[in-house]
Structure 1
Amino acid sequence: MPKIVLVEDELQLAENTKLILEINGFECFVANKGQEGIDLITSINPCLVICDINLDEIDGYEILRQIRLNPQFLNLPFIFLTARADFVDKRKGMNSGADDFLTKPYNARVLVETIRARLELSNQKKESVGIEIKKNAIDVFYHVSNHEYLTPLNGIINLSEIALDMVRNKQTFDIEPLLEGIYTSGNRMLRTTRKLLWYNQLSNAVNPWKNVLGANSQINVIKFLQDIVDSATKSSLKIFDINIKSNVTYLYGYDESLIQIMFMELIQNVVNFADSNRKVYIEARLENDFLVLIIRNHYSENYTLTTEEIKPFYQAHNPKDMNGTGLGLYIVKEWVESINGQFEVKGENQLFDIVIKISINA
């Protein structure tokens, strides 16, 4: 049953409209004040909103403005129900992102037909967007598979073959670099597989990290960060000057292997895309029982990137030159938000900042 939020301060009109909608197969939730309407929309997550313009304190235009600030409600069908319906009102409403206008007193049949038409159009848009996203995801996945699976897999097979020949010929004195290469390629495939599995769960509204805790774990932050940097840069052909500082001593209660994976994605992003001729700064600050981790580096080219653009399979550089899955920052962002933390990125004029904020106690 489609859910509709009605924001109307005329109590009798609100009750009558609610009754009409319920008779016609809709579930209607009513708010009589502006802020109450915003809260109701946020909590109910309706299929459509009907809102009066003339409300006390917060009018309909402001409700629409605030709702559209939330990416979740960017395409939510929004109908103004108002006694004022001159050209100026309509233009202002449409410029604010309204989908339709109905003038009071309204005709019940017209109201229902307008709602159904808007819901049908909304469903068509969702289907169209869903198909395009799947198509793009599949296209990118095939490209990623070529690079992120076949390249390290070939490395594992070829290096293993050489190592086996050396063992058979009892020439194992120089075998360590081969084993390191196999280990590095295997880890690369593991990282790719893990991210794709997590992405699959997230796209199906499943939290991959639910109930993942480290019990009484205690993580030494500065040592932890240094170990991750050493590991990430070990196999890189580029040499980085990375400055690490922290006034946070420990993190408590986190699963160390999981948080290591997440922080590694952040550092790996630096290794993959940063200008190695510029210093990289990593700082961990303690702010009111929160760890604020700041990673600042310079891109080797001029890219623009914002937090809102962090989506699956998206990279700031040319996607035709895909290096990696385009899932790393997206996965970290989803994990941070799943533990009620904050995640922010900003890339502009070659300067790239990543900021995450998480509680020091999981």
Structure 2
Amino acid sequence: MPKIVLIEDQLQLAENTKTILEINGFNCYVANRGQEGLDLIEHINPCLVVCDINLDEIDGYEILRQIRSNPRFVSLPFIFLTARADFVDKRRGMNAGADDFLTKPFNARDLVETIRARLEMSSQKNESVGIEIKKNAIDVFYHVSNHEYLTPLNGILNLSEISLDMVRNNQYKDIEPLLEGIYASGARMLRTTRKLLWYNQLSNMVNPWEKTLKSFNSKLNVPELLNEIIREVTKSSLKVLDINVKSHVSNLYGYQEDLIKIMFTELFQNAVNFADPSRKVFSEDRLENQMFVLIIRNNYFGKYTIKTDDIKPFFQAHNPKDMKGTGLGLYIVKEWVESINGEFEVNGEGQLFDVVIKIPLNV
């Protein structure tokens, strides 16, 4: 049965409305205060919300604003209850994202028909969104397959063929660079696959790193980790870059080493991919309010502005017409940082690009 959250501070009206909804086949959960209603929505994940405008502490407009700021509830059907539904009320409610209004007193028939209509519209909207998501996914997979899979796969096959011929002819002297090329191509395919799998989980409201949120008995040497990452990303790049590293933090505790290396590598890989090789790349880490702060700054070709809110799946400001990579790297890092109650920020202006992450010193 569809789940409805009803937020109404008049106890008798709330009880009567709950009875009407349950008789008509809905599961109704009641909150008599604004914050209680927000908590209930978060916990219940309802199909629809019916909310009085005039509540104490937090009114209906603020409840709606907070709901719409949560990506989980951007499209959640929301119906206002109000003792007066004049033009000003309706305009303010619609501007905030309300779907409909019911004026008190209302009859049972109007209530049920309005809810059913909104649920039907929501179902149709979700179906349309689902079709569009599938279409976009196909387009992206086509691009990724052609560039991020076929290119390294060709490298693996070609280098493997040459290596096999050399082994058959006992020519081992120059085989090491070929094996390194095979390894680099395989690692690239692994990074692409991992990001696509994580993106799929995030799209389905699943936290890919839930198991890593527990504290690990680990101690990471920050300078060693960063230097290792920089060696790897610069080795696989055709550019000759000057990277200036200032590390003021010795150790991080409680993090899964493989995961944090993946995330930091994404940040440095992004900087290397788009950096102007004639300018330095800067990296600095420090402690700030019990948080580990990592800042990476590079200069890039072209001029454009990019902010944190622009970081979305498959988006690249650097080269939007001819996407280089999957366009998922910074998005994945952003989601991971936020999943551990950290902060993520990017700022691109002119030719200067900054990425700043802040993560807890101990998970």
2:337 & 2:315 partners in 1: Cα distance? Answer: 18
Where does residue 278 of structure 1 map in the other structure? 279
Change (3 A) 1:360 1:59: closer
Where does residue 292 of structure 1 map in the other structure? 293
Cα displacement (A) at 1:297: 2.1
Cα displacement (A) at 1:190: 1.8
Change (3 A) 1:64 1:252: same
Q: Which amino acid aligns with 1:283?
A: E
Cα displacement (A) at 1:248: 1.4
2:36 & 2:201 partners in 1: Cα distance? Answer: 34
Greater CA drift, 283-292 or 227-236: 283-292
Q: In the alignment, does 2:122 pair up with 1:122? A: yes
Cα displacement (A) at 1:204: 4.2
Where does residue 360 of structure 1 map in the other structure? 361
Where does residue 190 of structure 1 map in the other structure? 190
Change (3 A) 1:137 1:19: same
Where does residue 92 of structure 1 map in the other structure? 92
Q: In the alignment, does 2:29 pair up with 1:29? A: yes
* Aligned 1:130-209 pairs, distance under 5 A: 130-209=130-209
Change (3 A) 1:293 1:61: same
Greater CA drift, 243-252 or 42-51: 42-51
Where does residue 232 of structure 2 map in the other structure? 231
Task: Work out the number of aligned pairs and report it.
Answer: 362
1:199 & 1:63 partners in 2: Cα distance? Answer: 29
Where does residue 63 of structure 1 map in the other structure? 63
Cα displacement (A) at 1:82: 0.8
Cα displacement (A) at 1:96: 2.0
1:290 & 1:311 partners in 2: Cα distance? Answer: 25
2:211 is paired with a residue whose SS is coil
Q: In the alignment, does 2:330 pair up with 1:326? A: no
CA contact (8 A) 1:144 1:322 kept: no
Where does residue 312 of structure 2 map in the other structure? 311
Cα displacement (A) at 1:324: 1.0
Q: Which consecutive unaligned segments of at least 5 residues does structure 2 have? A: none
Spell out, residue by residue over 1:154-213, the C-alpha distance to the aligned partner (whole angstroms, 9 max, x if none).
112222222333334444333332222222112112212222233334444444334347
CA contact (8 A) 1:137 1:313 kept: no
1:338 & 1:35 partners in 2: Cα distance? Answer: 23
2:135 & 2:249 partners in 1: Cα distance? Answer: 44
Change (3 A) 1:123 1:347: farther
Identical residues among aligned pairs (%): 77
Change (3 A) 1:322 1:59: same
Cα displacement (A) at 1:268: 0.8
Greater CA drift, 66-75 or 162-171: 162-171
TM-score (norm 1): 0.91
Q: Which consecutive unaligned segments of at least 5 residues does structure 1 have? A: none
CA contact (8 A) 1:214 1:256 kept: no
Cα displacement (A) at 1:30: 2.0
1:162 & 1:125 partners in 2: Cα distance? Answer: 54
1:200 is paired with a residue whose SS is helix
What's the Cα RMSD here?
2.2
Change (3 A) 1:211 1:64: closer
Q: Which amino acid aligns with 2:143?
A: H
